[in-house]
Amino acid sequence: MANSKYEYVKQYELDDTLLPGCWIVVRIDGKGFTKFCDVHGFEKPNDKRALDLMDACAAAVMTEFPEIRLAYGESDEYSFVLPRSTDMYGRRASKIVSLIVSCFTANYVARWPEHLPGTPLASTPMFDGRAVCYPLDSHLRDYLSWRQADTHVNNQYNTCFWALVKSGKTPTEAQATLKGTLSGFKNELLFREFGINYAHLPEQFKKGSVVVRQKAMVEVKQREDGSPVLRERALPAILHCDIIGDGFWQERPHLLA
Ligand code: ATP
Ligand code: ATP
Ligand code: MG
Ligand code: MG
Ligand code: MG
Ligand code: MG
């Protein structure tokens, strides 16, 4: 086909190919979720319904894009890991990020009524996204450890903060009580003042969510007599386990292969 005189504008599109041979991590994060939580009356510090919705959306993204190796989520964010060898959309950053973000967001809206029945969506949920390349396996491990350590620190702080606020302190007073305190002090405060044993809080709150593919038997069709035909498929499974230590990785050597 002959080029039109307008076609030169195509040259202004810049190459955004992600470095070959590196792990690709796409992290998405909810826009203005502090307000979004407030507007929709999320339970503080952790609304399990909203966390389950995030997890369901991440599993849907992994089903849509089989190239994704694993995902890790906490709060209003999720990280998706693509293997070093991936050729998804020619490793073009804007293609990969925009498709993951829109797949996640569309699922968030579509699945909202199932997870928060009786709470109408009052504003438009939006997520930002970025892609980062990591050359070494140790970088990827450290990235995921960084996010899981963040989950713990935030959850411990938020659990204390909201316990203080719910007991009658103003947010400013609660903040002042916690300023500069160590982990041990916060655990002690929760136990002494509020009878909360931090260790007994749900793993989903303390550890966040890991999505991996696990083999499961799935009905693919029915025989004439109505009996199911089962096949083994690798389906996204949501775990709330430690990924900082070596155990998780030793049990799943294929993840870093
Ligand atoms: P930005 O647009 O810069 O990301 P933000 O308001 O979303 O702004 P974040 O740092 O992403 O800021 O923080 C998200 C906020 O949403 C935190 O305060 C977190 O506690 C809250 N939040 C997210 N998910 C839940 C949930 N399931 N239950 C209760 N609070 C939640
Ligand atoms: P890719 O993922 O590469 O974009 P694609 O199938 O979306 O693949 P496009 O080049 O974007 O390819 O083409 C979109 C197709 O959708 C075209 O065939 C176009 O005619 C069709 N299409 C889009 N909107 C409409 C519409 N409103 N009514 C009928 N056809 C439509
Ligand atoms: Mg942010
Ligand atoms: Mg956010
Ligand atoms: Mg966030
Ligand atoms: Mg198209």
In the chain, the domains with their CATH numbers are 16-209 (3.30.70.3000)
pLDDT tens by residue, 160-174 = 999 999 999 999 999
Ligand 1 contacts CB of residue 36 (under 6 A): no
The model's pTM is 0.95
Q: Residue 1: pLDDT above 60?
A: no
Rounded to a whole number of angstroms, the distance between the first and last alpha carbons of the chain is: 44
Of all ligands present, the nearest one to the C-alpha of 32 is: 1
Picking from 190, 170, 171, 169, the residue whose alpha carbon sits closest to that of residue 181 is 190
Which ipTM score applies to this complex?
A: 0.94
Return d(Cα 183, Cα 191) in angstroms, integer.
13
Measured in residues, the chain has a length of 257
Which secondary structure element, helix H or strand E, spans residue 16, and what is its range? Answer: none
Report yes or no: 215 and 209 within 8 Å, Cβ to Cβ: no
| Percent of the chain topping pLDDT 90 | 99
Cα(30) to ligand 2 centroid in Å equals 29
52 lines ligand 1 (CB under 6 A): no
Answer whether 205 contacts ligand 1 (Cβ < 6 A). Answer: no
Determine whether the shortest distance from the Cβ of 62 to ligand 1 is under 6 A: no
CA distance 91 to 228: 39
**What distance in angstroms lies between residue 205's CA and the mean position of ligand 3's atoms?**
18
